[in-house]
Chain A
Amino acid sequence: MKTRLAKYYPLIPVYGAYLVMFFIGKNMSGMWQLMAMLAFYCALGQAFNIFLGMTGYVDFGYVAFLGVGTYGMALGITRLAHVEGIGLSVIVIGLALAVLMATLLSIAVGAVALRLRGAYFAIATIGVNEGFRYLIEGAKIWNGSEGMIFNAQMNQIFGREVASAISTFWADVLVLIIAAAAAFVTLVYMRSKIGYALTALREDEDAAKVMGINVTKYKIIAFITSAVFAALLGAAAWALKTPYVFPPEVFEIHYTVEAIIIVLLGGAGTLLGPVVGGLIYGVSKYWLAIIIPGFQLLIFAPIIILIIVLFPEGIVGMLRKKLRSRPEGAFIL
């Protein structure tokens, strides 16, 4: 019994961190917004890590999946608002739409872009993100560049009070749940054939291929999984929390870069890394915005350069190396 559960020990610090964040936010006045932001960054890192950390491929257009997720929820709410008594099931429909759209987009993108490697893959994914944004704006799909604002529909479906509770509390709880689910899936992948195949592919793709590993299959699995979590996150943290969607905002490349920073800071391909990276990134961003408003990035950019040059393995990556032979090492992955 003990050995079967030991597999899941590395989840303890991750879930512990999420519970602490939840209780700090709930019980200390004025902390909820900060905790919600931190939860978003942790979840973003956790979701992106499944692809970026495990395969080593840099998807520079990752934010597109958050974007389609936001659109999925927005479409669910705006198109079904007139249905009598739809109530909370509209959220389930919205999440399902987000997952469906992200799956379709990730299959399409994956089929095209995953044939490319390295820098070519990164450029192709930037192209997909920008191309998708300009297609929505140019062909006026889903209201084009005017976007969608669905405050009124939220109030119509849930009533004013429930709608406000959803956007100020339940959306953030959903983000934490998504983060926890993404961490669980990461662990399951790491401990299964998928994880071993992806490790082999990350170290040397050609060698992995020669060894008979179906690299394309495992890359696609990681890509779709990561995209689905991104879409859920977009639906919860963007659409439900702030009931509007504009193409230039949800396809903004800076979110992709934030996600990369979080994963790299914590340690790419580790389970605990995104939590550590998300917390450090979120807290320092919040703190820098208070002490030097408007010039956070001026301080942040050189710090990131320093981290890349000096600690390419990330914090958890280093920690894991140090603790490998010690009993505490069982909790850190």
Chain B
Amino acid sequence: MFWEQFSGNLIQGLALGAIYGMATMGLSLIFGVLKIVNVGHGAFIMVGAFVALWLFNALGVIPILAIPVALVIGLALGFLFYYTVLRRLVHAPELASLLATFSIGVLLEETVKLIFGSEFRGYNWAVGKIDLGVTVLPVSKLYACVGSALIAVLLYLWFKKTRAGTAMRSVVEDSEGASVCGVNVGGVYAQSFALGISLTVASGVLLTMFIPVGINPYMGGPYTLKAFVIAVLGGLASPYGAFFGGLVFGLIENGSYTLFALIPGVEPFALTRFFSFVMLLVILLIRPTGLLRAK
């Protein structure tokens, strides 16, 4: 009975982990290239969730088709905030960029609140369920996992095969060296920030395919914190590290929840969160390059 529940939870955790990974790739990309921590990360996830919600409830567009819309909206927001704000802060002390990205997050939250109100919303996209024996997985969740894995693979190929992707990797390695070799570092900063935001907004759509309720302007906060843990798991500066970090985090989150629930007299949910932050600190101290990068 316990093992059935445990393995069922792990399968759910792996599926959720794929979404977590996708939702963190943008954060890692931006940190890797610009060395800026986007503290307003969760707000962009929230924007994606509202894109999916609005397209589905108002226009009847299925969430899969909302993904390209979210990517475009994300690109636009990314370029907008880069050229108006972050361009001036790339080489400023951390204080400035941390506070600026936090304020951008607040601005997005309040704007969405002004338009949609602050009550919790949701949508219902019924496309059936698959019975896996130990657990039942709705088909919409399956689509979300496949979607995020696909985007991760496409991003990987884009980084390896295209000129723009190679330029970004060179800036991650050494921005001065890249600049000497003729890479337009300023342009790479703008593209990376926009791409990172775009991925993050799209991940908001995928997240609602996984959890289609509880959508509200302030839903992003917990995802910002989770994304930090996941990004650190994956090495903070590596987008694909972040994707695998997400898978690991999903497994650990659901696995440790099941185990903590066995201890009497505690709140397993809160202890799971506690455990994830302990993990964050331990990894930052002993392996700041991330779990998966052995080199």
Binding site for B on A (CB under 8 A): 52, 56, 58, 60, 112-113, 115-116, 118-120, 122-124, 126-128, 130-131, 134-135, 137-140, 144-145, 253, 257, 260-261, 264, 268, 295, 297-298, 300-302, 304-305, 308-309, 312
A127 touches B277 (CB 8 A): yes
Shortest beta-carbon distance, A90 to chain B, in Å? 30
A126 touches B228 (CB 8 A): yes
A125 to chain B: closest residue by CB: B281
B95 touches A134 (CB 8 A): no
A302 touches B107 (CB 8 A): yes
A interface, over-half SS: helix
Partner of B266, one of A112, A140, A297: A140
Interface residues of B in 222-241 (CB under 8 A from A): 225, 228-229, 232, 236
- 21 sample A-B contacts, Cβ–Cβ < 8 Å, listed by A number: A52-B95, A112-B285, A116-B284, A118-B35, A118-B94, A119-B35, A119-B94, A120-B236, A123-B280, A128-B277, A131-B278, A134-B270, A138-B268, A138-B273, A140-B265, A144-B267, A297-B106, A308-B96, A309-B100, A312-B92, A312-B96
A120 touches B99 (CB 8 A): no
Shortest beta-carbon distance, A121 to chain B, in Å? 8
* Alpha-carbon separation in the docked complex, A199 to B102 (Å): 27
Asked if A119 meets B31 with Cβ closer than 8 Å, knowing A58-B95, A127-B228, A257-B99, the reply is: yes
B278 to chain A: closest residue by CB: A131
A58 touches B98 (CB 8 A): yes
Question: Chain B, interface size: which category?
Answer: 35 or more
Partner of B37, one of A123, A134, A309: A123
B96 to chain A: closest residue by CB: A308
Q: Pick the most buried of A113, A116, A134, A300: most chain B CB atoms within 10 A of its CB.
A: A134
A131 touches B274 (CB 8 A): yes
**Shortest 7 CB-CB contacts between residues of A and residues of B:** A131-B277, A138-B271, A138-B270, A137-B270, A298-B110, A134-B274, A301-B107
Residues of B within 8 A of A140 (CB): 265-267
B85 at the interface (CB under 8 A from A): yes
B98 touches A60 (CB 8 A): yes
A295 touches B110 (CB 8 A): yes
A118 to chain B: closest residue by CB: B94
Interface residues of B in 268-290 (CB under 8 A from A): 268-274, 277-278, 280-281, 284-285, 288
* Alpha-carbon separation in the docked complex, A297 to B111 (Å): 10
Shortest beta-carbon distance, A48 to chain B, in Å? 12
B103 at the interface (CB under 8 A from A): yes
Residues of B within 8 A of A138 (CB): 260, 266-274
B151 at the interface (CB under 8 A from A): no
* Alpha-carbon separation in the docked complex, A124 to B99 (Å): 16
Shortest beta-carbon distance, A46 to chain B, in Å? 17
Residues of B within 8 A of A308 (CB): 89, 96, 99-100, 103
Residues of B within 8 A of A122 (CB): 37, 94, 98
B104 touches A127 (CB 8 A): no
B111 touches A298 (CB 8 A): yes
A144 to chain B: closest residue by CB: B267
Known: A124-B280, A138-B260. 18 other contacts (CB 8 A): A113-B281, A119-B94, A123-B228, A123-B284, A128-B277, A128-B281, A130-B225, A130-B277, A131-B278, A131-B280, A138-B272, A138-B273, A253-B221, A268-B95, A297-B106, A301-B110, A308-B103, A309-B100
Residues of A within 8 A of B103 (CB): 301-302, 304-305, 308
